[in-house]
Structure 1
Amino acid sequence: MIKKVIEQSNNLLYEPELRTIPVGVSARHIHLSLEHIDTLFGKGYELQLYKELSQPGQFAAKESVMLAGPKGTIDKVRILGPARGTTQVEVSLTDAHRLGISPPIRDSGDIAGSSPITIIGPKGSVYLKEGAIIASRHIHMSEEDAWQFQVHDKEKVHVISQTERRVIFSDVKIRVHANYRLEFHIDTDEANAARLTNQDQVWILKYE
C-alpha cells in the first residue's frame, strides 16, 4: 500500500495542471463558550477583533489566556472567535508534552473523554474535565471545490507536500460546507516535519 502511494505521488510531479490546495498552519489556540468568556474576562465581556481568519466568519481575538497542566504552563494562547457552545483547546503534541497532558487526536468539536486542562484569564480561571485535543488534519472545501476535486464530505485522502522535505499525509478528512474556503489545516508539528508554511501548496491523492 505504501509503495503504491509513493508511486502515485511521484507521478504527480509530471502533472503541472493538477490543482493544488493552500496550507493553513494552525498554532495552539482556544475556542471559548460565552460562559467561560465571562469567567475569564468578566461578565458581559466581548472578544475584540485582532484579525480575520481564512475561514469566513472566524477571527483571531486580541485576547489570550494561559494554559496550565500537571507539568507546566503555556502563556499567551490566542483565542479564536466567535464564541462557541463548548470550550475547546487545540494544541500540538509538543505543547502537550510541555503541559504534561495526553490529548487524543480528534476532529474539532469531538471532546468527549479528551484531556483535562486549566485555563487562566485576567479575571478568573476555568478547569475543564475534558476539552483539550490535538486536531485531526483536514481540508476545508466548498461544495464547488469538492465537485472539482471529485471528493465528498468526510472522505479521507492523501496529501503530498511539495517542499524539499517531501511528506505524504494520510487519512486527511475532507470537510465540505458552502461557506468553507479551500485550505489544508495541519498543526505546527506536522508543518515543521514537512517544512510547510502558510499558503504553501499541496496536492491531494484519492484512495484507490
Structure 2
Amino acid sequence: MKTVPVGISARHIHLSTQHIEILFGQGYELTSLKDLSQPGQYAANETVSIVGTKGKFDKVRILGPARGHSQLEVSRTDAFSLGVNPPVRESGHIEGTPGIRVIGPQGEVELEQGVIVAARHIHFHTSDAEKWGIQDKQALRVKVNGERPLIFEDVIARVSEQYALDMHIDTDEGNAAGVKTGDLAEILD
C-alpha cells in the first residue's frame, strides 16, 4: 500500500523580497513561527490583510522564505468571500491570474496577478517516487479515509530531492472528506 500523510493547506501568501519590504519596511526579514512539512519552508510570525472587491481577510499567514513572485493561495470558498475568481493552478503558475490588494503594517501592495486555488498535489522525495514508480507531474488517484471517504482525481505528483513526502489539499477539500492534517491517504495508481 502506498500511503502518504495529508496536509490541509489553509489560505496563505508567499511574498517576494520587494513586497516584504514595502509591507514591513526596508530590509525587513520574515521570522519563523514554525517549520512546515517541506524542508526549508516555514510559517512566518508575520501576517497581512487581503482585500478583494467583496471582502477582506485579516491575519493571513505568510509562508517563508521569500519567493521570486508573490502569490496568494485560497480555497474556492475564500475566493467567493473575497470577490475574486482564481483558476486552479500549480504553485508558481500565476500568469493570467487575478490580482488582489495586500496590506501590511508599513504599506500596501496591489498585486496585478497571483491569486490561485492551489491544485491538489503530493510532494515526493526522489527516493519515494522511484520506489513507487511515480514520475514528476504524473496525475494520481488518491483515496482519503476521513469521516466521508472519497477519491481525489488529478492529484499532481511533484518530485524533487528537496521535497518530503506530503499530500497538500485545501480546506474545502479537507472538509469535504472529513480529513485533517496528519491523516493518511492511499495512492491508488
Q: TM-score, normalised by structure 2?
A: 0.98
Cα deviation code 1:102-138 (max 9, x no counterpart): 0110000000010110000001100011110000000
The equivalent residue for 2:51 is 68
Superposed, which structure 2 residues align to 1:191-202 within 5 Å? 191-202=174-185
1:52 lines up with 2:35 in the alignment? yes
* Structure 1 match to 2:4: 21
Per the alignment, residue 10 of structure 1 pairs with: none
| Dislocated runs of 4+, deviation >6 Å | none
In structure 1, the residue matched to 2:17 is: 34
Alpha-carbon distance in structure 1 between the residues aligned to 2:44 and 2:111: 21
Give SS of 1:55's match: coil
Equivalent residue of 1:134, what SS? strand
Within 5 A, what are the aligned runs for 1:148-159? 148-159=131-142
Q: Any gaps of 5 or more consecutive residues in structure 1?
A: 1-17
Q: C-alpha separation between the residues in 2 aligned to 1:199 and 1:59?
A: 17
Does residue 128 of structure 1 match 2:111? yes
- Partner Cα distance (2:22, 2:140) in 1: 41
Q: Which amino acid in structure 1 is aligned with residue 74 of structure 2?
A: V
What root-mean-square deviation, in Å, do the aligned CA atoms of Structure 1 and Structure 2 show?
Answer: 0.7
Residue type at the aligned position of 2:126: E
Instruction: Tell me the CA shift for residue 205 of structure 1.
Output: 1.5
Q: Say which structure is richer in helix.
A: 1
CA distance in 2, matches of 1:187, 1:162: 16
SS at match of 2:85: coil
Match of 2:62 in 1: 79
Distance in 2 separating the partners of 1:88 and 1:115: 10
The 1-side partners of 2:109 and 2:179 are apart by 34
Instruction: State the Cα distance separating 1:164 from its structure 2 match.
Output: 3.1
Matches within 5 A, 1:178-193: 178-193=161-176
- 1:109 and 2:72 equivalent? no
Look at both structures and tell me which one has the larger radius of gyration over its CA atoms.
1
CA distance in 2, matches of 1:65, 1:167: 34
Q: For the residues of structure 2 that align with 1:69 and 1:26, how far apart are their CA atoms?
A: 20
Spell out, residue by residue over 1:66-102, the C-alpha distance to the aligned partner (whole angstroms, 9 max, x if none).
0000001000000000000100000001110110000
Question: CA offsets, 1:150-184, max 9 Å, x none?
Answer: 11101111010112311110001100001210011
Name the amino acid aligned to 1:109: G
Aligned to 2:80: 97
Counterpart of 1:105 in structure 2: which amino acid? V
- In the alignment of these two chains, the number of paired residues is 189
Q: Once the two structures are aligned, what percentage of the paired residues are identical?
A: 54
Q: Normalization by structure 1: what TM-score?
A: 0.89
